[in-house]
Amino acid sequence: MPLSPDEIRALQAKARELRCLMIDVTVWAGGAHIGGSLSAADLLTALYYKYLRIRPEESDWPDRDRFVLSKGHGGVGLASVLADRGYFPKELLREFNHFKSPFGMHLDGAKVPGVDASTGSLGHGLSMAVGMALGARFQGKGWLTYCLLGDGECNEGSVWEAAMAAHHHKVDNLITIVDRNGFMIDGPTEDVMGLEPFADKWRAFGWGVREIDGHDYAQIGEAIEAAQQAKGAPLVIIAHTVKGKGVDFMENAVQWHYGSVDSDMAARAKASIAGGA
């Protein structure tokens, strides 16, 4: 069922709140992968506030949907969402990156409730997500596995090993989303190592493809609902996003792949987020 205008407005408001929290955590952490967290913020909001079947109070509920953040450097974004969703107190995020904190840039599933896979090394998440989805199939379980990939990450050959296997083994209880923000650390993806024709690559591997605006909730909702219904073959949602989305001085600026934010900058960032749609 498509998202209603009220649902969309509520999700947009939540995403503004979460983007502000991500800015705060970036200040507390002394630096974070803020650009790619902001680009994924609307995708994470749609998943965690609408689509994932989860119980934050029972983070290891066996029948929960699984979420694998294959672009593990988006940890500051995911941790903010998990805290807001009630997996742990937001106050804990003040220790982000500090000595013996449960939170490092790349989240450890053994230390952070709600993290279904410890990720950080790129190109690992899709294989693990395929394994989880097969595990659900073997046990006759109805829960779904969601996997969020970065676009630069798709340079890794292991992503395509997993893509080949997901098609061959007809893994259709897996929902894969690529945060196609167009940047990696060294620059635009098409300058560093071109991915285009990106959708055709997935199609050639036997996947269904939906290309959407990753900041448009109506499109995000429609694509996720289509992927939930996929039968016989996996489906990837290529979500075209803006790196640094919501903060005017971070948008499409490669230096904000990873950056530090002081309190003045944070205030400007939050003003920009509040002024956005």
Footprint on this chain of other proteins (rule: CB under 8 A) = 62, 66, 68, 109-110, 116-118, 120-121, 123-124, 126-136, 138-139, 145, 157-158, 161-162, 164-165, 168-169
Q: Which is nearer to other proteins, 125 or 244 (CB)?
A: 125
Whose CA is closest to 47, among 227, 172, 224?
A: 224
Give the shortest CB-9-to-other proteins separation in angstroms: 36
Both structure tokens of 119: 């990720």
Give the shortest CB-172-to-other proteins separation in angstroms: 16
Q: Which is nearer to other proteins, 60 or 196 (CB)?
A: 60
Name the amino acid, one letter, at 234.
P
Give the shortest CB-134-to-other proteins separation in angstroms: 6
Q: Which is nearer to other proteins, 108 or 211 (CB)?
A: 108
Give the shortest CB-146-to-other proteins separation in angstroms: 13
Q: How far apart are CA 275 and CA 83, in angstroms?
A: 24
Q: Which is nearer to other proteins, 63 or 191 (CB)?
A: 63
